[in-house]
Each structure stands twice: as C-alpha cells, then as structure tokens.
Structure 1
C-alpha cells in the first residue's frame, strides 16, 4: 500500500496505518489519526509521543465528560479511541533503559480501555490468570450473560502489542460471532513487562498451559472447542505452544513465523552455525560495532533492537539478536502440532516475508495457508487497514474447523 503519510519513514507510516486499522472496531477515527499525524515531525520519536499523547488526553477528557453526563455510549467509544492513542504515544519510548514517560501512557491506555470495557453489554471483564508465582492480566469477553459453554478463542499479541489492542485485532469480532474470547498478555508483553519485570520466554507452552487451565474453569468455555490465535511474533509463540499443548482444537498464526533466528543472522557473513557462535560469544567487538552502525542508519532496526532489549531483558544489541535464536519451530517442533492450523501470510510483509510458507511446509497436521494481498488492501504485516476482511476470513475458517468438533 502506498504511504499516504510519512512518505520517507516506513516505520512511522506502518504504525499510523496500524491505528487507522482499528477504526473498523472503534479504536480510532480517521480525522483524529490524520490530524495527529500532520502535527508529527517525521522520524522524531519525541514529536510522535507528544502529539499522540495530546490527542489521547483530549479524547479521554471528552469521554469522561460524556460519562459524567450519563452518555455511556459516547463515553465508551471515546475511551476506546483514547486507549489506542495512548498505546501509540508510548510505542517508540522503549529504549534501553526505557524512557520514564512510557509508564504513564501505558497505564492511561489500560485505564481508558477498562473504562470502556465496563460500558459494554455484557461487560468485558478484566481477569488475572494464575501463572507460576504471579498472575497474567487479561480480559474475558462473553457473547451473552447466559453462562452457556461456547466455542472459545484464546488470543495474544506479539513483540510490541497489548492485550487491550487485541480488542480491535479480533476479540470483538469473535463476540459478534458468538464466541467466548479470552485475551491476555504473557511474559515480555506490556502488562507483565511494565509491572512485573517478566520478559519473553521461548517455551510458550509453559505460558499457554496455565491459560487453558484457567479457561477450563469458566462456565462460558466449551472445553472441547478451545482455539488459540497469536498475532505478529505471536505467529511463532502460539505454534510453539500448540506443539506441546494438545488440548487445543485449532490454531491460527496471524501471520505465521517459523524461525526468528533467521532475522538475527541474515546480515552476518558465513553460515548459520558460525553466525550463531558469534552472536552467543563472550566477546565479538566487530559484530557489536556493525550492529551499532546499523542502528545509526536504520530507524526501524534501531527501534526493534532497543525495544527487543527491553522485552527480552538483555543489555546489548548482540544479546537481543542472540535471544531470537531460541524462538524457532525448527528441529521438528512444527511437526509436533496436531490440531488444524491456519497460517496467514501477507504478500508484502516487511518483517517476516517467506516465513509463513516455511511454517506451512513443515506442518504435518491439517493445515491451511491464507494469503492476503495488496490489491485487497491487506498486504502489510498482520493486515492493518483490512481488519473486517481479514477477520471475516479467519473466523470463517475457525467456524468451519470447529463445526466438526463436539459441543
């Protein structure tokens, strides 16, 4: 898709398109996104934060005024948009160490979302999911208040998205179709990273298993029809979990990722084995210097590495790249997945191009590859700008897949 804003900065445009995509489920208004973008200095992280924060503050204040006056629908809609705008405001602040402004914007995003959640019918219920010696934050969406067991979708985001954002990335779409939906943030994702210092872990089955345990205690969940969807980096995390957690009735990787290590080694000379040794070495000054040069000239790489150090809990760019080596479905892991699996692919994916096909080729379970194109307005990573189209196809696949399972 042509860059309509920020013509010289692909990353700023993608994140703007991401907010625009949430218009489909109430997370933005076109004019608010455009007017905010027009005030931002291209490539300037401080300007990005300042202008999105200003818009979020204005919209949340108007939502609160509507709530105080008893206009609950207007308040709900405003809080939803403000939540997304606060999320966008803190997006580029995760340097190493983190900018202290990020906690304020993140906490405001969560607070606004929870204010909106309380105004839905049925209410969207914040939940705390037992996990090791703590809990994971999440939300339970019910199709109605009957307590009837329903097919259930567990959803989580990826490298940089929030549980709250999943409202626009498929949770509300599931409720519209009669599903119970359980959304959560796992280790390394915003809630646990901001407030519990939990960083990502590659053995995601040890995250999903307690989430399924929790789901199975809920009366609204049909335990025989629990599906899992992972978005973006979730496209490798969710399949990894499904390889070892066999209670799942279906799996969706949006979009599919086979091996994050391919990202780490692609600019290192030599074969994969030599590159891995260099990344994991006690000392590699030439490689360290090369990474610093890349960060100095490539804004997207600079953000990804800085954010990556934050969410992986490591101190250097090389340590971040080394951590990616552990996030893989190679060595027979993909082949362990048993449930029917949907692998989504974006024809113009700028982050993981080619990896959905690799995952699909390694699957031995019932499988479907679903490709979204630029002509459909859906060709970018995770299909921002085409939420109604992409979620319709994904849920239609899930409807058909679960139709053959017992109720």
Structure 2
C-alpha cells in the first residue's frame, strides 16, 4: 500500500472527489481518469486500487500503477478478441488506452517511456476504432510542408446521407485519444460524425513531429475542414468546432477566421492566457511549466508568457459570425472570471454567445466537468445538434460498440 498520511484522506468537495487534498494537481488528474468510468474508459474499483498503491507526490508510483492497469486491460482485450468476445475486447482496449494515457502524464517529454506509453495509447485506440460499427478511421490530415495532423474520423451511421460533423480537440495536455471516450456516444447518437484531431502542440502531432502550438489556429483547423470536404459522408454546410481548456481558446480563435464553421464551443476558456500564465511565474517549480514549455516550444516560463500574448481573445472573437457556446465550472481551477470575461466581451460585440455554468449542486463544477463529464457532454452535444439543424427524434439511434 502507498504512504498513509493526511494527504491520503480523500474527500468529496465542491469540485468533486479529491483523492489527496494535499496534492490538488495530482488529485485533479486522478479525478480525470476516474471520471472516464462514466463513459467506459476506466473502472472505479481499478482506479481506487491503483490510487491506494501510489505515494502522493511520487510521479513514479503514478506511472507504475497506471501501467499495471493498462497492460492488464490490453491483455484482457487480446485474450477476449482471440476467443471471439469482441465486445469485451473493445471495452478493454478503450480502458487500456485511457490508463496508458494517464501513466505518461507526469513523465518528462524526453523520457523514452513517454513516447512508448503514447504509442500504446494509440495502439489500443486503433483496435477500439476497428470495433465500432461503422468502423472509425485513423487518418493523417495534410498540413504545412509535408507534415500532417493525427486524427480519428468516426462516422455517424446514416447510410448514404451526408451527416453534420464536429471537429474536436483537447487543450494543453488532452489529445484525441481522451476525446475518444468522452464524445462519441453523445455525438453519434445525435446524428453527428466526429473528427478528433491532434492540433499543433498536441498528441502525436507534437510527439512524433515536434510541431508546437501556434496562435493562428485557423490554419490547422482550416486543414481539417479541407479534409472533411473531401469526404462524401459529411455535409459541407454543417461543420462545427469543439475545443476543451486551452483548446477552447484555439476553437474560438479559429472560428473567428475560418468561415466554413457554423457553430463553436469553448469547453472552458482563457480570455487572456498570458495574464493567467504570468500569475504562475512565482512558482517555477510547478510541473505544469515543463509541459507548457514543451507545447509552446519555449525554453523558459517567461518565454511561454510572451508567446501566450498572441493567444489573447480580445480583438479576435468579436469576429465570430456563428453561435458560440462557452462552458465553465464554478470551481474550475482557472477561475470563473476568465469565462465570464470571454462571454461578456463576445456579447458586447454582437456575437450570438451562450454561457453555461456548472455549479457544485448539479456537479460538473470542475475544470471541463471532469467530476461529471457525462453531464457536460450531454449539454454540449444537445446544443451542437440544435445549431446544426438536427431533429434528434428523427435520428436512428446508434451507439459505439462499448455502450
């Protein structure tokens, strides 16, 4: 068992379950993996068993215990597949992908185990995609200079009908494989196909090609739209955009300039990213700086802050010509004002904006609703379906293989 001290006394708080009150960042990441259980990407008992064997603050124990679960789940998937138990195999591949994702979180980007773990994430995700009906697709979206964006396309079952599609991406540390368990059930059953993509600074696009993030996100998003327009199963006039956390900034910026987008969602957002990051400069020891420097392609925290100034939404999102949804939890560690500032500014400049706040009484109050991701995705996908002109009563219900 792990070290038993005051930091191990878990408690339910306004932001949801806090596994180690003395380690808030670690507890948030645990809640993130635990919340995946609601969408089939973890098992509650397995998560708590893993936590019981971790030492709070010891990131090696974090890596070790999630790896144990990931490998066990992947082996169960392989065994089940060999015996023809395809549903069991699919379920375990999804969980294995999420456990591998969790394991790599605190590793340095130049630690070989991080790339190995990420490769394992994708290996399991690819097997899960194969089991969907119709099957999901692993795609590489042409980008600048011969580079590409890693992505998954998950088609809505609609026969020969062209379906609306949502381009979705995570933020600072969320990539397409985490979205794979968060969004498909909710989007597909409402008649929307999904393109889950690693933008510059995310997932495989960062890890394999070293492509860091950029403020003009309309460029990679435009490449995603170009790709969707090559498909015969996507309605070219009904393409929406979703971004989570830092991805909420990316999405808002892209929708301000990419005119083929018809609706956009910021699932948590930073109105002034540079000011927020600058407030952390007095704690350079925080592990988040290591990841920020990697994603932004910077050598120092101050360089990150300087680059982040180009991501400011003031003077940008007043150009959004389509419906815009901003979501934030009242207990979000980013704070509430960054979302209300974004919404207020958009409304003041004539944008058709909607603000949805989640409070502790209903749950979903944590960052990106990690304490109740299902509640968040239900609202998001209902909002998107309505803006894409989908009558859910007419949609032939279809669920991924896991559900």
2:225 to 203, 207, 212: 212
Q: Deviations over 1:301-339 (max 9, x none)?
A: x21100011111222222222222221111x21101110
Distance (Å, rounded) in 2 between the aligned partners of 1:341 and 1:251? 5
Structure 1 portions without partners, runs of 5+: 268-290, 297-301
| Residues 1:203 and 2:187 aligned together | no
> For the Cα contact (< 8 Å) 1:236–1:257, is it kept in 2?
yes
> For the Cα contact (< 8 Å) 1:314–1:320, is it kept in 2?
yes
2:127 to 112, 115, 138: 115
2:95 to 81, 106, 111: 81
2:147 aligned partner = 134
SS in 1 for 2:331: coil
Residues 99-248 of structure 1: matches in 2 within 5 Å?
99-132=111-144, 133-144=146-157, 146-248=159-261
1:349 to 332, 335, 349: 332
Distance (Å, rounded) in 2 between the aligned partners of 1:94 and 1:147? 46
Distance (Å, rounded) in 1 between the aligned partners of 2:335 and 2:313? 14
1:62 aligned partner = 76
1:259 aligned partner = 272
Distance (Å, rounded) in 2 between the aligned partners of 1:258 and 1:129? 29
SS in 2 for 1:187: coil
Distance (Å, rounded) in 2 between the aligned partners of 1:229 and 1:4? 27
| Residues 1:383 and 2:395 aligned together | no
Distance (Å, rounded) in 2 between the aligned partners of 1:371 and 1:148? 35
Distance (Å, rounded) in 1 between the aligned partners of 2:255 and 2:331? 27
SS in 1 for 2:182: coil
Q: Identify if the C-alpha distance between structure 1 residues 404 and 117 changes in structure 2 by more than 3 Å, giving closer, same or farther.
A: closer
> For the Cα contact (< 8 Å) 2:41–2:95, is it kept in 1?
yes
1:288 aligned partner = none
Question: Which TM-score applies when normalising by structure 2?
Answer: 0.89
Once the two structures are TM-superposed, the CA of residue 264 in structure 1 deviates from its matched residue by 2.7
Distance (Å, rounded) in 2 between the aligned partners of 1:404 and 1:161? 28
> For the Cα contact (< 8 Å) 2:54–2:61, is it kept in 1?
yes
SS in 1 for 2:157: coil
| Residues 1:295 and 2:284 aligned together | yes
> For the Cα contact (< 8 Å) 2:249–2:313, is it kept in 1?
yes
Distance (Å, rounded) in 2 between the aligned partners of 1:27 and 1:252? 23
Structure 2 portions without partners, runs of 5+: 1-11, 392-403
Question: Which TM-score applies when normalising by structure 1?
Answer: 0.88
